[in-house]
Amino acid sequence: MPTKHHGPTGTTASNPEPDPAFLRDSTGSRLYRLHLAGAGDVDQLTDLERDVFQTLWPPTNFAREIKKSGQAVLVATVRPGATPPPRSERNSSLVERVVGGIRTLANSNADNARNGDRIAGWTVVWFVAGEAHIASIGVAEPERRRGVGELLLLGAIEAAAINDCDELTLEVRKSNDAAQALYRKYGFNAVGERKGYYVDDNEDALIMTTPDIREPEYAARLAGLAADHARRWEDAGSRFERC
């Protein structure tokens, strides 16, 4: 049973439509990679969570969380100023580059402290009795409006499928219309409420859940959404790759 939260799941996960010209001029290109968190990520994760969820207490013990079985801590790292690949490479199979690539997560992570990449966002996903629960998801303020929250959501869904889960659930603030819109885009529907779920202001949470993610119809929908995600954000200077 989920406990009360100080910070809202999905607060920073929504991705409004980009303004490509503004983003290119102001921040340049960015290369994002999605992978399992490793020991070298713990300090960055702790600092980032403190910035994103300032009322959260106690803070997440990421050193412990990344070692637990039955869950996954995924991070999206960013490398500013990355040179875009040739057009032919950018147009290669997105299922291989994004969705299918996440299937390698169980055997890979990156030592970001050593290679200099920053963590742009994270998500924690629990796997229990055929169901996955997105326990938290957050994006660093400078990396918002670049498709990172949606990338993390794609990773959470694929991680759930890899771990033989039939559906995903999450809680989101009733007032967070932007996050709810993103979740509905990926098939989540409101199925209930948790009264006074957020202890910082006693706001209620909506419980949202997906249909069966292992049905062929949903898999096809996910692949299409992933392809659209990469195309939509490319002009804003965001690229997404696996490690």
User: How much is the pLDDT for 201?
Assistant: 87
Q: Is the pLDDT of residue 21 over 50?
A: no
Domain assignment present for 149? yes
User: How much is the pLDDT for 153?
Assistant: 96
Q: Is 73 left (phi over 0), alpha (psi -120 to 50) or beta?
A: beta
Domain assignment present for 7? no
Contacts of 78 (CB under 8 A, 6+ apart): 30, 31, 32, 117, 118, 119, 120, 143, 148
Domain assignment present for 158? yes
| Helices first, then strands: H and E counts in the chain | 9, 8
Torsion, Cα of 64, 170, 119, 39 (10° steps):
20
- CATH code of the domain covering residue 225: 3.40.630.30
User: Cα(35)–Cα(105) distance, rounded to whole angstroms?
Assistant: 6
Q: Is the pLDDT of residue 18 over 60?
A: no
| Residue reference for tokens 């030592």 | 111
User: How much is the pLDDT for 110?
Assistant: 53
User: How much is the pLDDT for 15?
Assistant: 54
Domain assignment present for 10? no
Question: pLDDT per residue over 187-200, tens digit each?
Answer: 999 999 999 999 88
What percent of the chain is predicted at pLDDT more than 90?
Answer: 60
Residues in the chain: 243
Stretch among 18-22, 40-44, 191-195, 231-235 having the lowest mean pLDDT: 18-22
Domain assignment present for 86? yes
User: How much is the pLDDT for 6?
Assistant: 42
Q: Is 145 left (phi over 0), alpha (psi -120 to 50) or beta?
A: left
Domain assignment present for 58? yes
Tally of domains within the chain: 1
Task: Evaluate whether 195 touches 206 at the Cβ level (below 8 Å).
Answer: no
Closest by alpha carbon to 239, among 177, 105, 148, 163?
148
Task: Find the radius of gyration of the CA atoms of the chain.
Answer: 17
Question: pLDDT per residue over 111-157, tens digit each?
Answer: 554 467 899 999 999 999 999 999 999 999 999 988 999 999 999 99
Quickly state the pLDDT bin for 105 (edges 50, 70, 90): very low
Domain assignment present for 230? yes
Domain range for 167: 20-238
> Could you give the residue numbers annotated as active site?
171, 183
User: How much is the pLDDT for 35?
Assistant: 93
Span 10-29, average pLDDT: 49
Domain assignment present for 33? yes
